[in-house]
Amino acid sequence: MNIMRSKPAAKSFRDLSLSIGDFIRYWGFRRVHGAIWTQLYLSEKPLSGTDLTRRLKLSKALISPALAELEEWGLIKPADSPDEKTKLYCAVDDVEQVIKHVLKIREQKLLSQIEGRLRRLRESDMEELSLNFSRLDQLDQMIKSAQLMLDLILENDPLIDLPKHFDQPRA
């Protein structure tokens, strides 16, 4: 069944895509990134920018750069096209590797930067700053804990297979 034939279904699908876009914003992406990715991930066939513009009711000026950005991040890839004018896209199937790639590129880089800056602060003459050294130690432990959690996520295979008790609906 073509989900775009039924107007209520099309609206529900668009609403789901935009809601995932809202969630994706917390990862530092824009809402349009999540909406496009959802459309491509759930589509049975590759889609063009025009298809996405129509489905999401968003402008081409918003869709086009977002497609390029998603491709740069490795979240989507070009697909075979029937002609040279139409560029088609599909979502990358291995979502786990994409998530890990983003975590390595962004979060690991940020944590390394924070660790370096904290180390430089500790190596400087901090007496004049009137810092709470106990809290500075706690901040150091929080940063180390975040790095440890990130390392655990990146090393865990498979990341997406959750234990069965996590599959239960939340009350």
One domain, residues 87 and 105 = no
Q: Is residue 43 part of a domain?
A: yes
Q: Is residue 12 part of a domain?
A: yes
Same domain, 66 and 14: yes
CB-CB contact of 31 with 21 (8 Å): yes
36 close to 66: Cβ distance less than 8 angstroms = yes
Last residue in a domain, options 91, 106, 123 = 91
CA nearest neighbour of 2 among 45, 32, 34? 45
- Let me know if residue 105 belongs to a domain: yes
Q: Are residues 81 and 119 in the same domain?
A: no
60-73 vs 31-42: helix crossing angle, rounded to 10: 80
Q: For position 67, which CATH number holds?
A: 1.10.10.10
Q: What six digits make up the tokens of 65?
A: 């750069």
Query: Does the pLDDT of residue 166 top 70, yes or no?
Result: no
Any alpha helices (H) in the chain, and if so which ranges? 7-25, 31-42, 49-56, 60-73, 95-102, 108-123, 133-155
Domain residue limits at 108: 95-160
Among 41, 63, 91, residue at a domain's last position: 91
Q: Say yes or no: 12 and 60 in one domain.
A: yes
- Determine the pLDDT at residue 123: 87
| Share of residues in the chain with pLDDT > 90 (%) | 38
Say whether both 108 and 136 belong to one domain: yes
Domain count, the chain: 2
Q: Provide the whole-model pTM.
A: 0.66
Instruction: Report if residue 2 sits inside a domain.
Output: no
> pLDDT tens across 79-120, in order?
998 888 899 999 998 878 877 887 888 888 889 999 999 988
Q: Is residue 165 part of a domain?
A: no
The whole-number average pLDDT for the span 114-137 is 88
User: Is 87 found in the same domain as 12?
Assistant: yes
Length of the chain counted residue by residue = 171
For the cut 70, the answer to whether the pLDDT of residue 127 exceeds it is yes
Rounded Cα distance between 160 and 171, Å, is 22
Mean of the per-residue pLDDT values of the chain: 85
Q: Using an 8 Å Cβ cutoff, are 3 and 13 in contact?
A: yes
Among residues 113, 114, 146, 140, the alpha carbon closest in space to that of 132 is found at: 140
Cα separation, 63 vs 39, whole angstroms: 12
Of 14-28, 110-124, 139-153, the one with minimum mean pLDDT is: 14-28
Co-location of 33 and 104 in the same domain? no
